[in-house]
């Protein structure tokens, strides 16, 4: 992946990678979606512990034109992408939607798939086609909201309800995080924490619905 050439004062030009440039963006979390051919080759340069990186191809050697971008854009408009019915489409949900649609495209065209989308959000992996608690990938992507729907969209526009919406999303993210940590926790501790989070979520949703 070519770096960007930046002119600094009167010194000689120097090259900086896109990942380094994004480090200077003042954000606690970032999402980078590279939908080009060979995009998997950019993961090593882009990955960071607080950054979700989604690439249309698994490696830099998948050089054919991709269709993943088409279905990623479709995911942001299709309520079906909201699989957990929280009225928010997360980066992970959009990834799974576009990944599934891309696979369907190649199957319907009776063509060998030349792209295999991956997600990397741990800052140290090469990207996974099937992110899960077992491989550690997908936790940050699941907690990264992209599109709010229905009541969530209305609450986001209402200054009085926006704090409640933020609390609701934080609780949903905490539940997703807990599910990733389940395997390493005693069953009783997991059940206790999950029950409390679900109760808090129910109360917050009740307040939002008023």
The tens-digit pLDDT sequence of the chain (210 residues) is 333 333 333 333 334 577 788 998 888 899 999 999 999 999 999 999 999 999 999 999 999 999 999 999 999 999 999 999 989 999 999 999 999 999 999 999 999 999 999 999 999 999 999 999 889 899 999 999 999 999 899 988 999 999 999 999 899 888 888 988 888 899 999 999 999 999 999 999 999 888
User: Whole-angstrom Cα distance, residue 176 to residue 193?
Assistant: 12
Q: What is the pLDDT of residue 9?
A: 33
- Determine the pLDDT at residue 14: 33
Q: Which residue has the tokens 């409640």?
A: 164
Token representation of residue 14: 């120097």
Instruction: Please tell me the predicted confidence (pLDDT) of residue 95.
Output: 98
Q: Is the distance from CB of 134 to CB of 191 less than 8 angstroms?
A: no
Q: What is the pLDDT of residue 8?
A: 32
Handedness of CA 74, 79, 81, 82 (dihedral sign): positive
Looking at residue 42, what is its pLDDT? Answer: 94
For the entire predicted model, the pTM comes to 0.81
Distance CA 178, CA 180 (A): 5
- Give the angle 174-156-93 at the CA atoms, nearest 5°: 50
Q: CB under 8 Å to 68, separation ≥6 — which residues?
A: 35, 56, 98, 99, 102, 115, 117
- The pLDDT assigned to 177 comes to 86
Question: What confidence tens digit (pLDDT) does each residue in 14-65 have?
Answer: 345 777 889 988 888 999 999 999 999 999 999 999 999 999 999 999 999 9
DSSP-H helix ranges across the chain: 18-22, 43-46, 68-75, 91-108, 139-142, 150-156, 162-181, 187-209
pLDDT of residue 32: 96
* Amino acid 16: pLDDT: 52
Contacts of residue 40, Cβ cutoff 8 Å, sequence gap at least 6: 55, 56, 57, 58, 59, 60, 62, 118, 127
- To which residue do tokens 């799974």 refer? 96
């Amino acid at each position: 992946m070519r770096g960007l050439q930046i002119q600094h004062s009167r010194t000689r030009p120097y090259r900086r990678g896109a990942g380094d440039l994004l480090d200077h963006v003042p954000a606690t979390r970032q999402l980078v979606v590279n939908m080009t051919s060979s995009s998997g080759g950019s993961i090593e340069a882009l990955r960071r512990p607080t950054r979700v990186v989604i690439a249309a191809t698994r490696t830099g050697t998948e050089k054919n034109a991709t269709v993943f971008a088409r279905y990623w854009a479709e995911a942001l408009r299709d309520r079906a992408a909201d699989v957990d019915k929280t009225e928010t489409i997360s980066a992970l949900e959009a990834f799974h939607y576009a990944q599934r649609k891309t696979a369907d495209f190649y199957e319907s065209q009776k063509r060998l798939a030349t792209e295999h989308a991956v997600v990397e959000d741990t800052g140290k992996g090469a990207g996974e086609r099937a992110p899960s608690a077992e491989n550690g990938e997908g936790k940050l992507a699941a907690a990264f909201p992209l599109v709010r729907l229905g009541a969530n969209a209305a609450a986001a526009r209402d200054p009085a309800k926006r704090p409640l919406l933020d609390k609701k999303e934080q609780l949903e993210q905490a539940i997703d995080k807990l599910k990733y940590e389940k395997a390493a926790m005693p069953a009783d501790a997991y059940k206790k924490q999950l029950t409390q989070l679900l109760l808090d979520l129910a109360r917050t949703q009740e307040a939002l619905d008023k």
